[in-house]
Amino acid sequence: MTPGERRRTWVGLAFISPWIIGFVAFTLYPVCASLYYSFCDYDVLSPPVWVGLLNYKDMVSDSVFWQSVYNTLVFNLMSLPLGLVSALALALLLNQPVRMRGVFRAIYYLPSLVPAVAGAMVWLWILNGRVGLLNQALMAIGISHPPLWIDDPAWAKPSLALVSLWGCGNTVVIYLAALQGVPRSLIEAAMIDGASAWKRLIYITLPAISPVIYFNLLIGIIGGLQVFTTAIIMGGAERSTLFYAIYIYWNAFEYRHMGYAAAMAWILCLMIMALTWAASRFSRSLVHYQGE
């Protein structure tokens, strides 16, 4: 390194020093410690005791653990496609030459800004089995015994999927930005060639925005596996909404099984990696990057 290079490196490191300190203290150390704790019996109050693979073995025989895995996967299989497709449909409609687009966009976007706690309260109230707005509407149109929603084990997950759908405005705005980047010339050329609206959607628009669909899918998987706040506040009958992240939280802060919680977190990390990898394999032939 020349003296000039060395000086520049020091200046560069000085600028990124906040991140280096934060990285070591709040990421690198916790990641290593978490891995260590996952092989320990640890309750925070006393020092961790090495137990080898016990936490991981316990997981295999813990039926609540498996239930939380099942709940999380089933919930995501409902909410993820529902959210992605609805958001895309709304964005496609908003991308048409409609009047008051800004107003519509604001209306669809606003719920995604609502604090999760407040949103959960509002939805608890709407989904209230006896006097909730939804069931009153259903009874008014002649359904005499509507489900109890969050208090019904069979309906609790669909209820939460409905709540998450309310917050899909974020995704709508991302899609809308991507749609506005679709080359106008391609669409016009297709129109001249007599392609129908459906064909233009399938052969031009969707391939053009496929990287953004893929991005939303990944964000959806990563966020969906960690779904926490709405579910823990709204509850749900008979552990039907005991999701993975909630079970980690219970283990860490209610039962003080910090080692078990750390082990669960690492399995979550592996699940996210596996699903991300699967999504990338699945989408390899479907995602088109412009300029390639």
Partner 1 sequence: MRLPAKIIIYLVLVTGAALFVLPFAWMVLTALKPLHQTLQQSSLWLPRRFEAPIDGRVQEVYLAELITEPSVWAVEQGAPQPVVLPEKSVHGGVWQPPSGAPLPVRVIRLIPASASQPWREVGDLSGVARDVIPESSVRTSITFRWRNFPEAIRAMRHFPRYLANTLILCVLNVVGTVLSSAMVAYGFSRLEWVGRDRLFGVLLATMMIPFPVVMVPLYSLFRWMGWVGTLQPLWVGSFFANAFNVFLLRQFFRTIPKDLSEAARIDGCGEFRIFWQIILPLCRPALVVVGLFTFMGAWNDFLGPLIYLTDERDFTLALGLQAMKTSQSGATEWHYLMAASTLIILPVITLFFIAQRSFIEGIALTGTKA
Stretch 185-214 residues interacting with partner 1 (CB under 8 A): 212
**Per CB under 8 A, 150 contacts partner 1:** no
Q: Which is nearer to partner 1, 5 or 193 (CB)?
A: 5
**Per CB under 8 A, 50 contacts partner 1:** no
**Per CB under 8 A, 215 contacts partner 1:** yes
Candidate ranges 50-58, 61-69, 121-129, 278-286; the one touching partner 1 (CB under 8 A): 121-129
Q: CB-based burial of residue 15 (10 Å sphere; 0-12 exposed, 13-18 middle, 19+ buried)? A: exposed
Which tokens go with 196? 């129908």
**Phi first, then psi: what are they for 240, rounded to 5°?**
-70, -20
CB of 199 to partner 1, least distance (A): 15
Interface with partner 1 (CB under 8 A), residue from 83, 147, 158, 169: 169
**Per CB under 8 A, 49 contacts partner 1:** no
Interface with partner 1 (CB under 8 A), residue from 166, 190, 204, 239: 166
Q: 210: closest CA among 223, 201, 199?
A: 201
**Per CB under 8 A, 39 contacts partner 1:** no
60/90 Cα distance (integer angstroms): 42
Candidate ranges 58-66, 75-83, 119-127, 281-289; the one touching partner 1 (CB under 8 A): 119-127
Interface with partner 1 (CB under 8 A), residue from 64, 107, 202, 286: 107
Q: SS3 for 254-286, per residue?
A: HCCCHHHHHHHHHHHHHHHHHHHHHHHHHHCCC
178/75 Cα distance (integer angstroms): 27
**CA distance to 168, 193, 201, per residue, from 232 (Å):** 20, 54, 39
Residues 235-264 that bind partner 1 (CB under 8 A): 245, 248-249, 252-253, 258, 261-262, 264
